[in-house]
Structure 1
Amino acid sequence: MSQRNDALRAARLRAGWRSVDQAAKSLSEHGQRFLQDRHFEVSPRTWRRWEGERPGRPPEETAIVLHDSLGRWPEDLGFTVPAGWIRPEAHQGEDVTRRQFVSVTAAALVPGPLSPQHIDPALIDYFEQQLEGHYRADMYLGPHDLIGTVSAQYQLIDKLVRSAKDEVRRGLLRVGAAYAALVGWLYQDAGDLGAAAFWRGVTQEIAVRSRDAQLIGYSLVNQAHVRTDLSDGYGVIDLCEAALDVSDRLLPKIRVMAMQQQAHGASLTGDRTTVDRLIDAAGGLLARVDDDLPWGNACRRTPGYLEVQRATCYGRLGLGREADSLWAQVLDVVPLTARRDRGVYLARYATSAAAAREPDHAVEIARKAVEIAVETRSARMLRELVTLERAMSPWHDAPVGRELAEVLAPVGKGS
């Protein structure tokens, strides 16, 4: 049986174009109105090729018309997309995004030296207390409303570090590393991995300057987290192994963080045995986490923390039923106030349900995830919903597939 471009065919049918001839005629008419070009035309022969085994790619002008008509870009419609192709919509916000990044990143690059001043040691406690509030706000709000606030506080800490001496300086370096790590995380959650990597690098620099073995280990795990989002399994493993090389000096919390992140690396390389071994080993340390450090406390703050990691790894490994069962347990204990985390978990749960061949259940779960995604604007959540959409592709032509498209419409997914 010859292969077809089912993604384009499904989009055509959802648009109500029952035949190739009708699709070509309707798209031609739409393009003539949209481009104000009466010569724009797509022939039935061209559309038939698009739905075939080798659809190639449409010209950029035609891609724009397809998007305006069907609500999807070529990569979502089964076309071959060349490396480096940038969606036209991306250019619109590119300058604004770049200006925002330059503005916030300037917080880490203020030239010095600055005028000396007396630094009261009480400022260290002040910034640590503020940090806990930022962590809570992140759970409720998501990244966008916090990036400017947290990076401005980092800039102030950096200014104070340049005047502080001895123990006060080292204390400010330690809290500064925690603030830089949080800015990196906020960018990562917002989907800007370039900015996230920059701030993770700032974290690592300050950690090294502080001579704090715990912070250095923490900074390596942060770097590994970015590599996880880049699907670089071996990069994740390398960084986590580097952190654990001095495990005899690391607090249980840092070892737990490194082990669970290394498990994500193992899942990216298809190694389930190592995933389970690492998460089980981390579980054996969890009860010993009792330090008073203000950063890296997700393992204590997040209900079912390690089972969240296991379920995520299982989903990545394609173990739909195992992941589905774990997510059901995890979501029973995650508080409703942890909106962003709950939304990410729901999206992963829905994908696991799809992998377990339960599409109706997946759509039911997706409704709840989309509601939270609209509120928080978390790019991580949107990526999870894209993964769900791919997992549901076998049901594109079925009523449940059309229902999913309607559910995803508020966040720009589906058609």
Structure 2
Amino acid sequence: MSRNDALRAARFRVGWRTIEQAADRITAHGQQLLGDRQFTVSARTWRRWEGARPGWPPEETALVLHDALGRWPEDLGFTTPAGWIRPEHHEEDQVNRRALGSVTAAALVAAPVAPQHVDPALITYFQDQLEGHYRADMLLGPHDLMGTVSAQYQLIDKLVRSAKGETRRGLLRIGAAYSALVGWLYQDAGDMQGASFWRGITQEIAMRSRDPHLVGYSLVNQAQVRTDLGDGGAVIDLCEAALEDSRRLVPKVRIMALQQQAHGASLTGDRPAVDRLIDQADGLLARVDDDLPWGNACRRTPGYLEVQRATCYGRLGLGTEAGDLWGQVLAGVPGTARRDRGVYMARHATAAAEAGEPDQAVEIARTVADIAVETRSARMRRELCTLQRVMRPWQDAPVGRDLAEVLEPVIEGS
């Protein structure tokens, strides 16, 4: 007989060993929280909640459960009714406005800015710093770098206003690379609103620089956001726009646009297009020889295009094919690339589950959960949520309960 293991696990987590004890404790907690001596939850009610059809508690009971167990009812296995809005979400719009305000403040320096001499050597300085930020991103994850990189972008923006000629154009180009990195950090942290804002800043600066390579790069950046939003048609549109005059683009930008378009194709279910586009990008890899400081993942990431192919295969539900590719890719990923390795392993776990290997999926997820807690990468958490969905056929089996236990620290940290 199926049961509500989410509520049962939450009960054990707070030390309520029996249903009778849970009913007594939640009653006492509710009376204290609400100041209502009439508030009661019987053992019979709790037993029903832990059964196959828990229903939905009254709103005041939902509040008590959340206060006592740290979870809202929909996260405790209850059946969410139409129209339910968590009380915390009533303030969400105001919070989001404050968050976006801080993002905007980090990107836009209020005019006027006092004129100053701008030495051309600053371009090289910011380029060298950028390479260090890329390395730090792989080691630290997004949260610890956002403030540093956005502050440096602010400085670049300020210098652009005083610089002239080639120095100004050089600062615009490096500024676009910095804003693109900030956009990526917001995207990796799960803040799509902030990511979209910074991608827009990148596109604006790319257009101002009149650099066709940067314009193409900025369009691919926009497509990355659309990929995370699941909008395959928009991804394809943006990548086709980037490739419209591909003869003007360095091979690196063409590779980026082709592989991102493959992600768009995977979102629309077009497996032949995925292989065609990634194979086309692969034919350009040997020709990448520019010295541009941005967009070097295709040179820096081992098995870069096979990572994209495996990700697309996973999105298409091709578990066996994706699993084989992930096995090859992970063999070449260095331990220092901890955040990327965690994302790849999470996708590998999902592929294993899709291929009917739930035990292998859980074993892989054990390592991923530790990395996700350490790096606080929302992208990794999203991958683990995908794994949870794919593992639903086993949720009542021991392996499903093992997965719930493995992922508990990730859920608590989200």
In 2 relative to 1, CA 280–373 (structure 1 residues): closer, same or farther, beyond 3 Å?
Answer: same
- Equivalence for 2:88: 88
**SS at 2:144's partner residue?**
coil
Between 1 and 2, higher relative CO (CA 8 Å, sep ≥ 6) is seen in: 1
- Residue 210 of structure 2 aligns with which residue? 211
Does the 8 A contact of 1:128 with 1:294 survive in 2? Answer: yes
Which SS does the other structure have where 1:149 is aligned? Answer: helix
Question: One-letter code of the match for 2:137?
Answer: D
List aligned pairs for 1:307-386, cutoff 5 A. Answer: 307-386=306-385
Q: Comparing 14-23 with 105-114, which one deviates more in the overlay? A: 14-23
What does residue range 142-291 of structure 1 map to in structure 2 within 5 Å?
142-291=141-290
- Cα distance, 1:272 vs structure 2: 1.1
Q: Counterpart of 1:189 in structure 2: which amino acid?
A: D
Is the counterpart of residue 9 in structure 1 residue 4 in structure 2?
A: yes
Q: 1:410 to 1:48 in 2, by over 3 A?
A: closer
Higher mean Cα deviation, 61-70 or 155-164? 61-70
The CA deviation at 1:40 is 3.1
Pairwise CA distance, 1:133: 0.3
CA distance in 1, matches of 2:114, 2:126: 21
Offset, 1:90 = 9.5
- Within 2, Cα distance between the matches of 1:261 and 1:322? 20
CA distance in 1, matches of 2:270, 2:122: 46
Residue pairs, 1:104-143, within 5 angstroms: 104-143=103-142
Indicate how the Cα distance of structure 1 residues 93 and 362 shifts in structure 2: closer, same or farther if over 3 A, else same. Answer: farther
Give the letter for the 1:10 counterpart. D
- 1:402 aligns with 401
**5+ long unaligned stretches in structure 2:** none
Aligned to 1:79: 79
Deviation per CA, 1:3-35: give whole Å up to 9, x if none. Answer: x9x6x7232454579999998788656644665
Structure 2 CA distance for aligned equivalents of residues 166 and 372 of structure 1? 46
One-letter identity of the residue aligned with 1:193: M
Task: Tell me by how many angstroms 1:150 deviates.
Answer: 0.3
Supply the distance in 1 between the matched residues of 2:94 and 2:326 (Cα, whole angstroms): 36
The normalised TM-score by structure 1 is 0.88
Please state how far the C-alpha of 1:266 moved relative to its aligned partner. Answer: 1.0
1:17-32 mapped onto 2 (5 Å cutoff): 31-32=30-31
The amino acid across from 2:267 in the alignment is L
3-state SS in 1 of match to 2:284: helix
* Structure 1 residue identity aligned to 2:232: G
Shift of 1:389: 1.4
After superposition, what is the alpha-carbon deviation per residue over 1:253-294, rounded to whole angstroms, capped at 9, x for unaligned?
111111111111111111111111111111111111111100
**1:215-240 CA deviation, whole Å, 9 max, x = no partner?**
00000000010011111111111111
CA distance in 2, matches of 1:282, 1:89: 43
- Residues 192-224 of structure 1 show CA distances to partners (whole Å, capped at 9, x for unaligned) of 000000000000000000000000000000001
How much does 1:104 deviate?
4.3
Say what the alpha-carbon RMSD is for the aligned residues: 3.1
| Separation of aligned partners in 2, 1:245 and 1:280 | 19
Give the unaligned 5+ runs of structure 1: none
TM score, norm. by length of structure 2: 0.88
- State the Cα deviation string for residues 38-88 of structure 1 (Å, max 9, x = none): 433457579859967895x54443334444566643444362365783463
User: 2:99 & 2:226 partners in 1: Cα distance?
Assistant: 23
Q: Secondary structure at the match of 1:186?
A: helix
Taking structure 1 as reference, are residues 259 and 92 closer, same or farther at Cα in structure 2, changes over 3 Å only? closer
Output the amino acid matched with 2:285: L
Shift of 1:359: 1.1
Structure 1 residue 106: Cα displacement: 1.1
**For the Cα contact (< 8 Å) 1:189–1:378, is it kept in 2?**
yes
> 2:220, 2:257 within 8 Å by CA — same for their partners in 1?
yes
Deviates more, 1:206-215 or 1:77-86: 77-86
SS of equivalent residue, structure 2 residue 143: coil
SS at match of 2:365: helix
- 2:256 and 2:121 mapped to 1: Cα distance? 29
Provide the rounded CA distance (Å) in 2 between the counterparts of 1:297 and 1:84: 45
Q: CA deviation at 1:36?
A: 5.2
Contact 1:256 1:285 in 2 (8 A): yes
Q: Post-superposition shift, 1:301?
A: 0.5
Amino acid at match of 2:152: Q
Q: Which residue identity lines up with residue 187 of structure 2 in the other structure? A: Q
Q: CA deviation at 1:355?
A: 1.2
Q: 1:287 to 1:74 in 2, by over 3 A?
A: farther
The separation in 1 between residues aligned to 2:49 and 2:228, in whole angstroms, is 35
* Contact 2:66 2:72 (8 Å CA) reproduced: yes
Give the distance between the partners of 1:356 and 1:240, measured in 2 at CA. Answer: 31
- Identity percentage over the alignment? 70
Contact map agreement 2:100 2:193 (CA 8 A) in 1: no
Partners of 1:161 and 1:169 within 8 A in 2 = yes
User: Residues 380 and 93 from structure 1, CA distance in 2 versus in 1: closer, same or farther, beyond 3 angstroms?
Assistant: farther
CA distance in 1, matches of 2:58, 2:283: 56
Q: Could you list the per-position Cα deviations for residues 119-157 of structure 1 after superposition, in whole angstroms to 9, with x for gaps in the alignment?
A: 111111110110000000000000111000000100000
Is the CA contact (8 Å cut-off) linking 1:73 and 1:87 kept in structure 2?
Answer: no
Cα pair distance change 1:110/1:409, threshold 3 Å:
same
Cα offset, 1:93, TM superposition: 12
2:300 equivalent in structure 1: 301
Partner of 1:389: 388
Cα gap change, 1:206 to 1:83, in 2 (>3 Å): farther
Deviates more, 1:36-45 or 1:252-261: 36-45
Question: C-alpha displacement at 1:383, in angstroms?
Answer: 1.0
